[in-house]
Amino acid sequence: MTATRETVLAPTLVGYRRTWLRADLVAGLSAGAVVIPQAMAYATIADMPVQIGLYTCMVPMLVYALLGGSRTASVSTTSTIATLTASTLIGAGIAAGSDDAQTALMTLTLMVGLILVAARVLRLGAIIENISEATMSGIKAGVGLTVAASQLPKLLGVPGDPDATGFFHVLNGVLRQVGDANGATVVLSIVSVAALLAMGRLVPRVPGPLIVVAVGIALIAFTGLRDRGVALIAEVPQGIPLPGVPSLHDVADLLPGALAISVMAFLETVAVARGVRRSTEPQIDSDRELLAGGFASVAGSFFHSLPPAGGFSQTAVALRAGARTQLSGIVTAVLAVLVALFLAPVLSDLPQATLGAMVVVATLGLVDLGSFVRYWRVNRIEFWIAAATAAIGLTAGLLPAVLAGVLLTLYLVLRELDRPHISQLIREVEGGWRAVDPDEHPVHSDPLVLRVDSGLYTANVRANTREIARRVEQARPSALVIDCSRLTQVTTTVMRNFLDLTEELSDSGVEVYFAALPRRNIATVRRTELGRDYESRGRVFDSVESAARELSRSPDR
């Protein structure tokens, strides 16, 4: 028996070619030059020491490389995940910088991993992916603006307000301190932001974050910026993280945030994986991505990492450098280990303004105003969903924004399910049957043949039976044939609603017949007394054609 793709370890390395080795090595080093400083910057968004971001580039990236289905996706963490992490810890009453914060982070990362693994066991990947693009656009806009505002104290060299939460509160607190800004810090921030934007636009192959970090450290080492009041990051401990054990004390308080982070981590990783998939590569399996992301998060939790997710920027760097497989991710993870072992003292000279500039440039890219314009032109409902989600994120916080986005998506799904999907079938002159175009007027026929064009569930069966009754009242036939060929399953609820419909129509003089039930549905119908009775009375046919032919011969018609 052959193994499925999901059971294969390191599927992207199966059939590896020696000619790919150089490209993967270069891509891994290139991606590392971007992802390592970015991950360190994202750790500060989560109110964690920068080394937490560095640790996130180790175990989670290695585990995803061994289990993930994308050949080139780079999985460490993202600004969205870091922001949700900070919101979750604050909401759980865990003070930033406290001794409990890193322990709570381990617990949160473990919970995210377990939720993703549970979602894989329940095969929820396709369901989670139903969250709309408009919802994601709104959440990312809220993240981008909120995080950019939170970095302003670092860019200005003023103390941040630890009690200020949300975009407007943070912005208001910063505006009150503009007069106290440190001139050298402001200049360094402006130059860093300008350099990152210029390199990203003009020379995208150059690892801009690495160059800005190197220049920032050099300026501190060889100039008098330190004496001019330019603040540095906290000292980075040298060495790799020692394993720890997550605490179970705050599970209940962390659960809402863990659910939100799980959804966003999965969606971001799948979006990256599908966005960079080459046409010659296998399709991305959402269930496999749940499993890979889940195990990456579980393993990373014991080594002090943020919840992992795929990021577009570092993945784009790896792709441009020619990455062929996840060996490039393994190279990046090894590079992160080497940086922790040998360069930690050097990283301690990194200015906070440099990290803040990297965060601002990365997160403002999440604010895609063009998508809002597109929603307005194409679908106003999507526009209002994106706008509402963004507004909630900016005012109430990102966790409520994710919850609102999920609920809005669920509402849209249920609304779509509740719409009737019924088509009238008419016989063509040359034989066979065709569906009447929705824009055409209903065609008078007796028997009236209606087809159920979608699966029926508790959520939509009433809407469809009401639509059938409406069409019968409009056409007034003596007989109705319901084509059930597209029904995926028949439940007790569905059967009860259709039997109620047949009784209602029979009372008004319309006989109801069923045609083309799939074989397994017929077996389900025969398990009930009402279903067996209906079949025994000759009301169930193998096809629409046989039903119409039998009814045309009936002496009662």
pLDDT tens readout for residues 379-429: 888 899 999 999 998 888 778 888 888 888 778 777 777 788 888 888 877
What string of DSSP letters covers 489-528? ---HHHHHHHHHHHHHHHHTT-EEEEE---HHHHHHHTTS
Phi, psi (deg, nearest 5) at residue 423: -120, 145
In Å, how far from its chain's centre is CA 99? 31
Please tell me whether residues 444 and 380 are part of one structural domain: no
CA 40 – CA 213 distance, rounded (Å): 11
Q: What is the DSSP letter of 7?
A: G
Please tell me whether residues 273 and 318 are part of one structural domain: yes
Adjacent-strand bridge partners of 90: none
Identify whether 224 is part of a domain. no
CA 239 – CA 244 distance, rounded (Å): 15
Please tell me whether residues 295 and 389 are part of one structural domain: yes
Please tell me whether residues 270 and 168 are part of one structural domain: yes
How many other C-beta atoms can be found within 10 angstroms of the C-beta atom of residue 377? Answer: 9
| Domain final residue pick, 413, 436, 451 | 413
8 A C-beta contact, residue 69 and residue 288: yes
Q: Say what the pTM is.
A: 0.79
pLDDT for the residue numbered 3: 45
Identify whether 253 is part of a domain. yes
8 A C-beta contact, residue 39 and residue 60: no
Q: What is the pLDDT of residues 271-283, one digit of tens each?
A: 888 888 887 888 8
Please tell me whether residues 405 and 497 are part of one structural domain: no
8 A C-beta contact, residue 42 and residue 307: no
What domain range is 517 assigned to?
A: 422-552
Handedness of CA 216, 217, 221, 222 (dihedral sign): negative
Identify whether 530 is part of a domain. yes
Q: Name all contacts of 465-469 with Cβ < 8 Å and 24+ positions apart.
A: 465/497, 465/498, 465/500, 465/501, 466/420, 467/420, 467/422, 468/420, 468/422, 468/501, 469/501, 469/504, 469/505
Identify whether 89 is part of a domain. yes
How many other C-beta atoms can be found within 10 angstroms of the C-beta atom of residue 312? Answer: 19
Identify whether 227 is part of a domain. no
Rounded to 10 degrees, what is the CA torsion of 362, 363, 365, 368?
Answer: 170
CA 557 – CA 548 distance, rounded (Å): 12
pLDDT for the residue numbered 162: 67
Rg (Cα) of the chain, in Å, rounded?
30
**How is residue 511 written in tokens?**
């006989």
Show the 3-state SS of 130-182. CCCHHHHHHHHHHHHHHHHHHCHHHHHCCCCCCCCCCHHHHHHHHHCCHHHCC
pLDDT for the residue numbered 542: 85
Those residues with Cβ within 8 angstroms of residue 240's Cβ, 6 or more apart along the chain or in another chain: 55, 58, 337, 340, 341
CA 135 – CA 387 distance, rounded (Å): 9
Q: Which residues of 331-358 are buried (b: 16+ CB within 10 A; e: fewer)?
A: bbbbbbbebbeeebeebbbbbbbbbbbb
Q: Tell me the CB-side half-sphere exposure of residue 121, using CA atoms within 13 A.
A: 8
In Å, how far from its chain's centre is CA 251? 23
Q: How distant, in Å, are the alpha carbons of 67, 207, 388 from that of 35?
A: 20, 10, 32
* CATH number of the domain that residue 476 is part of: 3.30.750.24
Identify whether 37 is part of a domain. yes
8 A C-beta contact, residue 266 and residue 125: yes
How many other C-beta atoms can be found within 10 angstroms of the C-beta atom of residue 24? Answer: 25
Q: Tell me the CB-side half-sphere exposure of residue 488, using CA atoms within 13 A.
A: 6
Please tell me whether residues 339 and 464 are part of one structural domain: no
Please tell me whether residues 395 and 476 are part of one structural domain: no
Identify whether 92 is part of a domain. yes
Please tell me whether residues 409 and 426 are part of one structural domain: no
CA 371 – CA 518 distance, rounded (Å): 43
The secondary element (H helix, E strand) that includes residue 40 is helix 21-45
Please tell me whether residues 255 and 400 are part of one structural domain: yes
Q: Counting Cβ atoms within 10 Å, is residue 450 exposed (0-12), middle (13-18) or buried (19+)? A: buried
Consecutive 10-residue averages of pLDDT for the chain (557 residues): 55 88 91 90 91 95 94 90 91 79 94 96 82 86 87 89 74 87 94 93 86 93 88 90 88 93 92 84 89 96 95 83 90 95 91 91 86 92 91 86 82 78 83 77 83 84 90 89 84 82 88 84 70 71 85 64
Q: Counting Cβ atoms within 10 Å, is residue 146 exposed (0-12), middle (13-18) or buried (19+)? A: buried
Please tell me whether residues 372 and 449 are part of one structural domain: no
Please tell me whether residues 504 and 521 are part of one structural domain: yes
pLDDT for the residue numbered 163: 65
Q: What is the bridge-based pairing of β-strands 511-515 and 448-452?
A: unpaired
Please tell me whether residues 267 and 407 are part of one structural domain: yes
Structural domain count, the chain:
2
Identify whether 258 is part of a domain. yes
CA 371 – CA 393 distance, rounded (Å): 17
